[in-house]
Amino acid sequence: LAKTTQPISMDSYEGQEVNITCSHNNIATNDYITWYQQFPSQGPRFIIQGYKTKVTNEVASLFIPADRKSSTLSLPRVSLSDTAVYYCLVGPLSGGYNKLIFGAGTRLAVHP
């Protein structure tokens, strides 16, 4: 499984755009990049997933450069409720029973 590296913490203010970058230098050809969000005392929640270029949904955008060795989760106009830990994971799309391995994640604090 590809190892991921992300900042331990980030701070932002309400209404700003937040970009969290994840490095995954040894990503494999069949690996996808997935981001999860976790609020305190809750289970992780899927945010977005992509393979290459750009993916956008109602919550976030995911930018993946051509070499796929990194990816950036973009949260537009964050609010206080976006304060959470954000995890970048890399692995096969379905991969049968393949487990997801969580790193330490990025602790995002949004301030008023």
Distance CA 53, CA 108 (A): 24
Report in angstroms how near the CB of residue 15 gets to other proteins at its nearest.
28
Q: How far is the CB of 106 from other proteins (least distance, A)?
A: 12
How many whole angstroms separate alpha carbon 58 and alpha carbon 97? 28
Q: Name the residues that contact other proteins, by CB under 8 A.
A: 32, 34, 36, 38, 41-46, 49, 87, 91-105
Beta-ladder partners of 55 = 62
* Token duo for residue 31: 């690996």
Classify residue 66 as left (phi > 0), alpha (psi -120 to 50) or beta. alpha
Q: Give me the least distance between CB of 85 and other proteins, in Å please.
A: 9
CB of 63 or CB of 102, closer to other proteins: 102
Minimum distance between the CB of residue 48 and other proteins, rounded to whole angstroms?
A: 10
CB burial of residue 27 (10 Å; 0-12, 13-18, 19+): buried
Q: Which is nearer to other proteins, 1 or 61 (CB)?
A: 1
Nearest to other proteins of 75, 87 (CB atom) = 87
- By beta-carbon proximity to other proteins, the closer residue of 16 and 49 is 49
